[in-house]
Chains A and B, each alone.
Chain A
Amino acid sequence: MITARTQEVLYDPDAVYSTQYLVLDCEDGRPSSVSDVQVWTAGTDDDSTEESATTGSASVESSPNTTIATAAVGPAQSDPRAMVVSSGSGFTVGRRYQITEDNGGHWEVFECAYANGTTIKARHPLKNDYSVGSTVQSTRVTIALSSSWLAEIANISPHWTPNPGYRAKWILTVNGNATEYATYFDVVRYVAQHRVTPPDVDMVHPGWIDGLGPDDQVDQGRRCIEAAFEAVKHELYRDNKADQALRNAEMVSRLVIHRCQYDRLLNNAMRGAGNAEALALGKAAWDGYYQGVIRSPVAPVDEGGGGASQPNKRTPVWRR
C-alpha cells in the first residue's frame, strides 16, 4: 500500500478486536519525539473541539532501529538486495524501512521482502552502497485508539462518500525540526477487501504469474494485486463511490483481476514495449466490466453504514 493511504479502523461495539492504532509512516526519517496527536472529523475545523478518539501517548516504534553488521551492502555486492543487520527484531515483510549511510548521510527507503533472523532482503536492489554501521530504522509512529470511542455507532464514517471521515494531525520532531503531518482515516463496519490471490488472476488471464517482474516474483505478485486494488479504489472515488461500501466480493475480485492484467499491459507499454492491440483489449476488458457493474445500477452498496446494501445508483451519462 502507498504510504499516504487512508487508514480504515473497525467499529467495535463488542470489544472483539485487540487495540487498534493510528499509524503514521514518516517519509522524512525516523522521528525523535512526538509532541501531540489531534483528531477531528473531516467537516470540523482545527479550532473546534477534538474527537476523543485516542488514548495514551503516541510513540515512535522501538524496532527495527539497528545497524548494518558483518559486511557492506548495495550494488557493489554480489546481491544488492541482501543485508545482515545487528538485530533482526521487528522487521516485517511488506513494511518499509529507511537505511542511512554512516559516512555520508545518503539514504533510501526499501521494502522488506524477506526477513530471517538478522538476514534481511529488500524487494528492489538498493541504489546506493552502505558501509558497516549504517542505520536501518523504522520511521513509524503510532497512537492507540480509544475502545469506547470505537464502540460508538455515531462515530462510523459516512458510507456514501469516498472521502475520509477523520483527519489526524501529528506534531513530531524529525531531523531536529518540529514538523506536522496529517493522516486520514475512516471508522468502518467492513474494511475494503479484494480477496484475490495470484492463481485467481492467472485463471482469468493465463500467463500472468509467469510474466511477473523480478521484484514481484518473491510474493507471487501479491503486491501487484494490491496496486490493482488501489487503482480500482481510485476509479470508484472518481465516480464518487466509497470502496468500503461495496457489498459484493465476487464483483470486487473480478474488477481487481481485470485491473491486474490491464496494469501489466499499461506498464509494459509505458516502458516502450508497445503492443497497442493487447493494451486496447486489456482496457476494454477492464472498462467493460467496470461500466457494467459500477456505473450501472448493479453492484450493491451500503449507503446507510449499517451493513445492509441496496443496488447502486446509475452514474449520470454526462459524468462517464
Chain B
Amino acid sequence: MATTAGAIRDAMLALVTAITPAKHAGQKFLAHREQSDFRTHSEKNPGGCLRRFSIRNLNDRGAPAVTTGSVEEISETFEVVVAYPIDGRHGGKFLTGLDDVISSDINQIHHALHVANSPAGATVLRLSDDREMDEQAGIAFAVIRYRVDYYWSLT
C-alpha cells in the first residue's frame, strides 16, 4: 500500500498526542505548529515549551530497496524532538527528576510508534535517542530518530 512521508508524519503526530504520560500525567504532548524552527522557537520561549514536540522527516531517502517502476520501497529518517524547560517542577530531584521524565517519555513514545502501533503502511524502527541540554537557555530536548520503511508511488 503506497503512502507518503506527510501521511506517515501526521499519523505519528496523532499517536504521540494520544499518549497519557506516566509522569506529570496532566501535561500531555502538544504538537508544534511548525510556523518556525522548533528548536529556535523553544529556546526563545522556554516557559511555554513543556512537552511540545515536533516530528519532521529528514528527506534522506537513498536508493530504493525494491521498485516496480510505479511503486518503490524506500527508507527515510524521521526525527521526533520533544522540548522541556529546565526548572524545578519535578519534585526535589531537579535535574535528575527531569532526566527521569525524559526517559519515561522516550519509552512511551517508542512504545506508541513501534511496539503498540505503527503508522499505516510503514515499518518504524528506532535508530537512536538522545538528550540535548542547553542550560544557558534553560531548555532540554529529547531527540529520537526512527528509520521508516514504506512504499511510495511514483505516479
Contact = CB atoms under 8 A, between A and B. Distances in A.
Interface of A: 74-76, 78-82, 121, 124-125, 127-129, 207, 210-214, 264, 267-268, 271-275, 278
Contacts of B26: 79, 81-82, 121
A210 B136 CA distance: 23
B97 interface: yes
A213 B48 CA distance: 4
B47 A75 contact: no
Contacts of B35: 207
Q: How large is the interface on B (under 10, 10 to 19, 20 to 34, 35 or more residues)?
A: 20 to 34
Most buried by A among B23, B24, B33: B24
Given A75-B97, A81-B26, A273-B46, 13 more contacts: A75-B90, A78-B21, A80-B91, A127-B92, A129-B91, A211-B45, A211-B47, A211-B48, A212-B48, A268-B47, A271-B85, A273-B138, A274-B137
A78 B25 contact: yes
B24 A125 contact: yes
Query: What DSSP secondary structure best describes chain B's contact surface?
Result: loop
Given A272-B137, A273-B45, A273-B137, A214 B22 contact: no
A75 B48 contact: no
B89 interface: yes
Contacts of A81: 26
Interface of B: 21-27, 33, 35, 43-48, 50-51, 85, 88-92, 97, 135-139
A76 to B, nearest CB: 7
Contacts of B45: 211, 264, 268, 273
Contacts of B136: 272
A74 B91 contact: yes
A80 B135 CA distance: 24
A81 B25 CA distance: 9
Nearest to A210: B33
A267 B47 contact: yes
Contacts of A271: 46-47, 85, 137-138
A82 B139 CA distance: 25
A82 B27 CA distance: 12
A74 B92 CA distance: 11
17 contacts: A75-B92, A78-B24, A124-B89, A125-B90, A125-B91, A127-B88, A210-B48, A211-B45, A211-B47, A213-B48, A213-B50, A268-B44, A268-B45, A271-B47, A272-B135, A272-B136, A273-B139
Given A78-B22, A79-B26, A210-B33, A127 B91 contact: yes
A151 to B, nearest CB: 46
A19 to B, nearest CB: 37
A79 B47 contact: no
